[in-house]
Every structure is written in C-alpha cells, then in structure tokens.
C-alpha cells in the first residue's frame, strides 16, 4: 500500500478548516476519474476583497477523510465522490488573509488550473477560527 503521511505530521499544526465536498461528474465538467489522497487541487471561494475573479491560486489543499473523519492513508484507492476533507492553507503567511473571509457555510470549489472539479461548503473552522 502506498501510504499518505498526514499533513498534520508534516506541517506540524492543525488544519485550517474542514469542508464537505462533492466532485463533479464528467457530464458536469469534472474529472474522468476521482482523485487520490494527496491531490493538490486548489480551493477557491468568492469574496469581494479578492483581486481577481477566480484565477488566483491560494494554495489551499484538501486532505480527504473517511466516514469516521479520519485522514485516508491509502493512496492507492480513489477518494469518495462525496465526503469531508481537512483543508490546509499551505503558505502560513496567507492564513491572516483568509481569517474572517472563510466562514462556516462559505461555498467554494476544488480547482485544477482554471477548471472547477468539485464543490465544497465549509463545515468547521479550526486554525482560522477567530
């Protein structure tokens, strides 16, 4: 089994927030197959203070959870079409920018380049809670 090392071990802090997500089907413009743990799709959300319209890369990566809200370790199996994920603002310098902008209920998207491959809703604030 190809194992994923949880970001909490690698980054040495808690995740910034959690989302519930749904990947788009191919008919909705989504991926041909579901991704594996470790994909570095970017999280995008609308906010009036963003300087661009959907094109900035925030470098906020998902880490997918199983039905028990544990990090999925097995990188050899695709993640579920729907579920929950821990979200990581990889560059610590951007955490202050997102505090107060990402809130419970914020809607966002998984982006691969300019294409949205799934939709998300923030369900828990962790490291960015005020």
Could you tell me the residue ranges of all domains in the chain?
Answer: 7-125
Residue 125 is predicted with a pLDDT of 97
pLDDT value of position 48: 83
Q: Please give the Cα distance from 69 to 48 (Å, whole number).
A: 32
Task: Find the length of the chain.
Answer: 130
How far is Cα 7 from Cα 4, in angstroms, rounded to an integer? 9
As separate numbers, helices (DSSP H) first and strands (DSSP E) second, the chain gives: 2, 6
So what's the pLDDT on residue 2?
85
pLDDT tens for 21-36 read 999 999 998 888 889 9
Across the chain, what does the average pLDDT equal? Answer: 91
Per the DSSP assignment, residues forming a β-bridge with 84 are 20
- Cα distances from 86 to residues 15, 49, 114, in angstroms, run 6, 24, 22
| 130 or 113: which leads in pLDDT | 113
Q: Is the predicted pLDDT of residue 12 greater than 60, yes or no?
A: yes
Name the percent of the chain lying above pLDDT 90. 75
Query: Where in the chain does DSSP place strands (E)?
Result: 17-23, 42-45, 60-64, 82-89, 107-112, 115-125
Q: Distance (Å, rounded) from C-alpha 77 to C-alpha 37?
A: 8
Predicted pLDDT of residue 99 = 93
Q: pTM value?
A: 0.93
Q: Which of 5, 16, 30, 10 is nearest to 118 (CA)?
A: 30
pLDDT at 127: 94
pLDDT in tens, 49-85: 887 655 567 899 999 999 999 999 999 999 999 999 9
Q: Which CATH architecture has domain 7-125?
A: Beta Barrel (2.40)
pLDDT band at 129 (very low <50, low <70, confident <90, very high): confident
């Amino acid at each position: 089994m190809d194992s994923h090392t949880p970001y909490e071990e690698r980054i040495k802090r808690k995740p910034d927030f959690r989302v519930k997500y749904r990947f788009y089907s191919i008919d909705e413009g989504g991926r041909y197959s579901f991704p594996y743990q470790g994909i570095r799709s970017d999280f995008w959300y609308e906010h009036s203070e963003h300087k661009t319209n959907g094109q900035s890369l925030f470098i906020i990566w998902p880490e997918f959870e199983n039905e028990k809200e544990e990090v999925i370790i097995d990188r050899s199996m695709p993640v579920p079409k729907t579920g929950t994920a821990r979200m990581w603002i990889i560059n610590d310098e951007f955490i202050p920018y997102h505090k107060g902008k990402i809130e419970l209920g914020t809607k966002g998207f998984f982006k691969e380049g300019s294409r949205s491959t799934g939709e998300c809703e923030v369900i828990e604030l962790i490291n960015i809670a005020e």
